[in-house]
A = this chain, B = another copy of it.
Amino acid sequence: MTQVLAIGTFNDTEAAALTEAFGCRVLAEVDGLGGLDQAVRDAVTAVAFKGHQGFGAAEMAQLPGLKLLANYGVGYDSIDVAAASAQGITVTNTPDVLNDDVADLAIALWLMQGREMQQAADWVRSGNWAGEGAFGLSRKLSGSKVGVVGLGRIGREIAERLAAFKCEVHYHSRSQKQTPGWAYHADPVALASAVDFLFIALVGGPETEGYVSKEVISALGPRGVIVNISRGSTVDETAMLDALEAGELAGAALDVFVNEPQIDPRFLALPNVVIQPHQGSATHDTRAAMARLQRDNIAAHLAGAALLTPVN
């Protein structure tokens, strides 16, 4: 009876690696737990988890011997960590290995939105360049005033890249950090008032729900653009859509949405919004590194060694 169970949206390569390493079976859905024999569930001490389905107290109760819930991804807002702690379950995630990719995508979203690259590409493909002449003018981005909400490891990677674009970097986080002279704002509204481009790099979960509020969006103003690579939940999405439709916000560039992948259709009608399908960490190298770190945490658990990246 294997101690490891994999649950979630693993691709074939990842599933094969888990099976080879641990002889575990792979369930596509959390709901599949109920279909397992009691004896199989009782034997499980570690779960490899991937995806955005909720994993809470009810699921944990079905695995009475569970000691490790190893999440694939840096964000673990699908997991009820308090419930896990209460049952003596350690949660691990896969931080750091994806910082570069997510920061790269944030910069790409910023550039693509500001320089109107999708519209410019369409201008060529539609024949308008040849038929009607030059595409219009867009917005200079180097040298902009930019703000980062949440100066964790990903936020810092974003800010360091923006500094190379000669931007004036501002940030907001719970406490002031050691930085190369970036401007700290204790209040997110003050941050939004000071900048034109707001990059959201918060962790997800209940504590940050709607953190980029209607007031923050209003303070960002009609020249403001929101770039979000964190979680859809961190922004008051309705307030953002209202502001975009009313011209009270210049644009948005989003990799994440409240109800992804069934995103609000209002986004699709807005030409000044760049949309990506939550692909922040979705490169071959990085996803392989995330899968490896998840397996390494499970292997450490099985060997009785210290876990690499515990979160509780």
Contacts and interface: CB of A to CB of B under 8 A. Distances in A.
A82 interface: no
Nearest to A99: B142
A64 interface: no
Contacts of A282: 134-138
B134 A104 contact: no
A16 interface: no
A276 B262 CA distance: 30
Contacts of A279: 115, 120, 134-135, 138
A260 B141 CA distance: 25
A9 interface: yes
Interface of A: 9, 100-101, 103-105, 107-108, 111-112, 115, 117-118, 120-121, 123-125, 129-130, 133-143, 160-161, 163-166, 260-263, 268, 274-279, 282-287
Nearest to A110: B108
A85 B283 CA distance: 53
A302 to B, nearest CB: 28
A308 B218 CA distance: 43
A295 B165 CA distance: 28
A173 to B, nearest CB: 21
A115 B108 contact: yes
A275 B121 contact: yes
Which residue among A9, A120, A261 has the maximum number of chain B CB atoms within 10 Å of its CB? A261
A280 to B, nearest CB: 10
Contacts of A164: 160-161, 163-164
B101 A142 contact: yes
Contact of A165 (B118, B136, B161, B260): B161
Q: Which of A166, A279, A283 counts the most B-chain CB atoms under 10 A from its CB? A: A279
Contacts of A140: 100-101, 104, 283-286
Contact of A100 (B137, B143, B284): B143
A261 to B, nearest CB: 4
A162 to B, nearest CB: 9
B125 A268 contact: yes
B138 A283 contact: yes
